[in-house]
Structure 1
Amino acid sequence: MNALYTAEALATGAGRNGHVRSSDGRIDLGLSVPKAMGGAGEGSNPEQLFAAGYAACFHSALQMVARTQKIDISDSSVGGRVQIGSNGKGGFELAVMLEVVLPGVEHAAATALADAAHQVCPYSNATRGNIEVTISVSDD
């Protein structure tokens, strides 16, 4: 791969109860295990960061696809949810749900845009075949 950009971050402390900081300092967060998993829930967590990153990346891919097809999606949004649970083998696995909202775009066209974005989004390409990713499309 010919890298266009490299992001760097360092996790310190006690993993999920530690700290994460990007090399440029733009991300500088205390982490904590979510209350639902028995933790204090006072900081962010890796699943929130993954949900935010995937939603933003997918939205960018969606906008690129729409631009190529000359479709206005200026009021669009993408919400991301990441779940973590047992894989039944002593480890854990993730599942992702993306909600694509395209007001004013006919449902079939909106679904086609989301499908096309799913083919070019780097997060989608990285997770394809590894974790369950569900994409829903709505106009509100």
Structure 2
Amino acid sequence: MAQHHFHLTAQWEGGRNGTGTIDAGNLKSVISIPKEMRGPGVGTNPDEMLIGSAATCYLITLAAMLERQNIPVQELSLKTEGVVREERGLKFERITHRPQVILASSATADQRKQTEAATERAERHCMISNALRGNVELAVEANISTVTD
């Protein structure tokens, strides 16, 4: 069984409203508490990193599924929203992925149905979604269209 190890180093200066840095190879950033949570809003924050992780995993999974099914994709993009509830503490409540899939004009009705199914399946197969499932509500609201000549 193969294992993959990922590492992150972090530094922090100050108290609650301080700032820090993270370095995880290709991910290097300043970090702090977001302004929405009465922090300094410098650099990124755990909330953005969590939805970023969920979104990139979902998008890569969806792209791989569409490729394996030979779906003629013209354009693939994604908007993801994370909702944190502040009530007796903070709780990351929901992540909603809103993929936009534009199929080539050569796409068949069957390929469109396969694409619709893949947008839902990708969320269930994404490693990050599976790590969050049961703690965070996960949803997909896909928008699928076809290029018209």
Query: What's the TM-score once normalised by structure 1's chain length?
Result: 0.81
Of all paired residues, the percent bearing the same amino acid is 21
Residue 136 of structure 1 aligns with which residue? 141
Counterpart pick for 2:125 among 101, 105, 120: 120
Please identify which structure carries the higher strand content. 2
Query: Is residue 22 from structure 1 mapped to residue 23 from structure 2 by the alignment?
Result: yes
Residue 32 of structure 2 aligns with which residue? 32
Unaligned runs of 5+ in 2: none
For residue 11 of structure 1, what is the amino acid of its counterpart?
A
Residue 11 of structure 1 aligns with which residue? 10
Please state how far the C-alpha of 1:16 moved relative to its aligned partner.
7.2
Residue 77 of structure 2 aligns with which residue? 77
Q: Deviations over 1:79-103 (max 9, x none)?
A: 22222223x4x33211211111101
Is the Cα–Cα contact under 8 Å of residues 56 and 78 in structure 1 kept in the other structure? no
Residue 48 of structure 1 aligns with which residue? 48
Unaligned runs of 5+ in 1: none
Q: Structure 1 stretch 31-40 or stretch 11-20: which is displaced more?
A: 11-20
Supply the distance in 1 between the matched residues of 2:95 and 2:122 (Cα, whole angstroms).
15
Residue 100 of structure 1 aligns with which residue? 99
Query: What's the TM-score once normalised by structure 2's chain length?
Result: 0.76
For residue 56 of structure 1, what is the amino acid of its counterpart?
T
For residue 102 of structure 2, what is the amino acid of its counterpart?
P
Q: Deviations over 1:4-44 (max 9, x none)?
A: x32211232157743232243x3222112222211221221
RMSD over aligned CA atoms reads 2.4
Please state how far the C-alpha of 1:61 moved relative to its aligned partner.
0.5
Q: Structure 1 stretch 52-61 or stretch 5-14: which is displaced more?
A: 5-14
Please state how far the C-alpha of 1:74 moved relative to its aligned partner.
4.5
Cα gap change, 1:20 to 1:8, in 2 (>3 Å): farther
